[in-house]
A = this chain, B = another copy of it.
Amino acid sequence: MLVLITYDVSTQSAAGKTRLRKVAKECVNYGQRVQNSVFECILDASQLLMLKDRLVSLINEKEDSLRFYYLGNNYQTKVEHFGSKTSYEAEGTLMI
């Protein structure tokens, strides 16, 4: 199923940047980074559990916000895009 993961972290601090990089690295194992802190992952139930555990252990629960949206298996018609299609590397480097 498609799981959308959105991660709100302050990247003003070096620690925040590092956490975003780590979260991105985990997520792109299962999908793609579609925006700076938005990831679309294709996961089965056990992968979801593992990834969720891993991400929750990486974030700062007092400062950061992490949200999961479950879009199911028939997600092709549930996503629409406008504007630029920037792609990101796992490390966070912007690819134009």
Instruction: Identify the A interface with B (CB < 8 A).
Output: 4, 6-8, 34-38, 52, 55-56, 59-71, 77-86
Contacts and interface: CB of A to CB of B under 8 A. Distances in A.
Copies of this chain present in the complex amount to 2
A27 to B, nearest CB: 14
29 contacts: A4-B4, A4-B69, A6-B6, A6-B34, A6-B38, A8-B36, A8-B38, A8-B86, A34-B65, A35-B65, A35-B67, A37-B37, A55-B82, A59-B83, A61-B84, A63-B83, A65-B83, A65-B86, A66-B81, A66-B82, A66-B83, A67-B79, A67-B80, A67-B82, A68-B81, A69-B78, A69-B79, A70-B80, A71-B78
A56 to B, nearest CB: 5
